[in-house]
């Protein structure tokens, strides 16, 4: 039984960042994608543009059709010009006031009366002018958050799978994983920070620094904090002494002292500078990333990729440093736990499961 549970946890954690698409346009203007160790051609005619996340790429083909590709085969969504957006897992396209969505191959018209909308990793939040309402799509279902008799205000905060909003009675609420949780009434809006599965805020009623975590509102500190950021299920903040504090899964700890500067949080990564060294805290482990401040870098999921001192590209993935290329003037992008690097001559290299592939 223990072995089965361990296998399932490994499978789930691996699937969470499994890259399904890694689109690129090569020097021959062929539109391709890297998946499972191979480069595959998606289109044989030049495309005009594309937008991509971890699991999906949307693009306009040579005939002006809006297409979607999820690593299996291209599928046409519209044969006319449309506004479209993608997140890591979802896609929307809007023709006039009609808002449609794609989720893992399933398609749905969300409303025929759309105005503003926001596409995140696991949710789509949109305004429906027919009912003067704000709604959210999550996991195959739509939910109404609130209605208004006048102008519709946008939600106070929209995270990757979580929404904070106020209803008509100015009651603060949180939508998370298909349920709505009541917070409290306050005459001003709360100042939220959030990411995935968590929202953090200074509670003006009780004077505490609080979070929403797993369906509950909890106090992390008995005082307000001035700087805080939320990742995937954790919050990082500065204490009164200037220390960088981390809270996640019921545990609070210090990850750096007052010497830390330029710290930021995204997905599973906390990144900061300390005594001119760059450090990262990833999945409860601290790493020394570089003994200098990189000229440029990117964070996504559990990956850090940066330009090294020689101008090449290096990544920290799974706790291991890997030099991807030594060529200068290369551009990099993260998909899942993989890194795509475009070289100066429009050739590409990919870091996937610890190995480098090239085309």
Q: What is the pLDDT of residues 5-17, one digit of tens each?
A: 333 333 344 444 5
Higher pLDDT, 157 or 153: 157
Higher pLDDT, 160 or 187: 160
Sign of CA dihedral 71, 344, 358, 283: negative
Query: Please, which residues have CB within 8 angstroms of residue 12's CB and are 6 or more apart in sequence?
Result: none
Give the tens place of pLDDT for each residue, 89-115: 999 999 999 999 999 999 999 999 999
Q: Residue 66 belongs to what H/E stretch?
A: strand 66-69
The counts of H helices and E strands in the chain are 1, 39
274: pLDDT strictly greater than 90: yes
d(CA 354, CA 319): 11
What tokens appear for 225 in the block?
A: 């904090």
Q: According to the model, what pLDDT value does residue 6 have?
A: 38
Q: What is the CATH number of domain 191-293?
A: 2.130.10.30
Give the tens place of pLDDT for each residue, 342-354: 998 889 999 999 9
Give the tens place of pLDDT for each residue, 36-66: 889 999 998 999 999 999 999 999 999 999 9
323: pLDDT strictly greater than 70: yes
User: Judging by DSSP bridges, how do beta strands 320-325 and 331-335 pair with one another?
Assistant: unpaired
Confidence of residue 187 (pLDDT cuts 50, 70, 90): low
> Mean pLDDT across the chain, nearest whole number?
91
Q: What is the DSSP string of 82-129?
A: -EEEE-SSEEEEEETTEEEEEETTEEEEEESSEEEEEE-SSEEEEEET
Q: According to the model, what pLDDT value does residue 259 have?
A: 79
Which regions of the chain carry the CATH code 2.130.10.30?
191-293
218: pLDDT strictly greater than 70: yes
Give the tens place of pLDDT for each residue, 196-215: 999 999 998 889 999 999 99
Give the tens place of pLDDT for each residue, 276-298: 999 999 998 999 999 999 999 99
Q: According to the model, what pLDDT value does residue 66 have?
A: 97
CB 217 within 8 A of CB 211: yes
Q: What percentage of residues in the chain have a pLDDT greater than 90?
A: 79
- The stretch 155-165 carries a mean pLDDT of 97
């Amino acid at each position: 039984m223990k072995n089965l549970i361990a296998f399932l946890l490994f499978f789930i954690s691996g699937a969470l960042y499994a890259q399904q698409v890694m689109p690129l346009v090569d020097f021959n203007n062929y539109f391709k994608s890297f998946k499972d160790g191979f480069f595959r051609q998606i289109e044989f005619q030049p495309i005009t543009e594309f937008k991509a996340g971890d699991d999906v790429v949307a693009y306009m083909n040579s005939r002006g059709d809006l297409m979607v590709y999820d690593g299996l085969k291209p599928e046409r969504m519209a044969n006319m010009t449309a506004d479209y957006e993608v997140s890591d897992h979802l896609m929307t396209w809007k023709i006039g006031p009609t808002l449609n969505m794609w989720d893992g191959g399933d398609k749905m018209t969300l409303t025929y009366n759309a105005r503003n909308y926001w596409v995140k990793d696991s949710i789509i939040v949109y305004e429906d002018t027919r009912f003067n309402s704000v709604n959210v799509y999550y996991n195959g279902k739509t939910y109404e958050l609130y209605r208004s008799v006048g102008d519709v205000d946008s939600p106070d905060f929209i995270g990757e799978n979580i929404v904070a909003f106020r209803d008509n009675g100015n009651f603060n609420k949180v939508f998370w994983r298909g349920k709505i949780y009541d917070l409290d009434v306050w005459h001003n809006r709360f100042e939220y920070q959030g990411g995935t599965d968590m929202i953090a805020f200074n509670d003006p009623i009780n004077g505490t620094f609080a979070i929403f975590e797993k369906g509950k509102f909890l106090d992390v500190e008995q005082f307000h904090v001035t700087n805080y950021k939320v990742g995937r299920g954790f919050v990082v903040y500065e204490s009164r002494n200037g220390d960088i504090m981390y809270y996640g899964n019921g545990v609070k700890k210090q990850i750096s002292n007052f010497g830390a500067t330029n710290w930021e949080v995204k997905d599973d990564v906390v990144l900061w500078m300390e005594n001119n060294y760059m450090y990262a805290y990833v999945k409860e482990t601290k790493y020394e990333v570089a003994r200098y401040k990189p000229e440029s870098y990117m964070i996504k999921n559990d990956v850090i990729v940066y330009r090294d001192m020689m101008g090449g590209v290096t990544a920290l993935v799974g706790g291991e440093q890997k030099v991807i290329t030594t060529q200068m003037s290369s551009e990099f992008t993260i998909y899942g736990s993989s890194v795509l690097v475009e070289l100066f001559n429009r050739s590409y290299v990919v870091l996937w499961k610890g190995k480098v592939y090239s085309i």
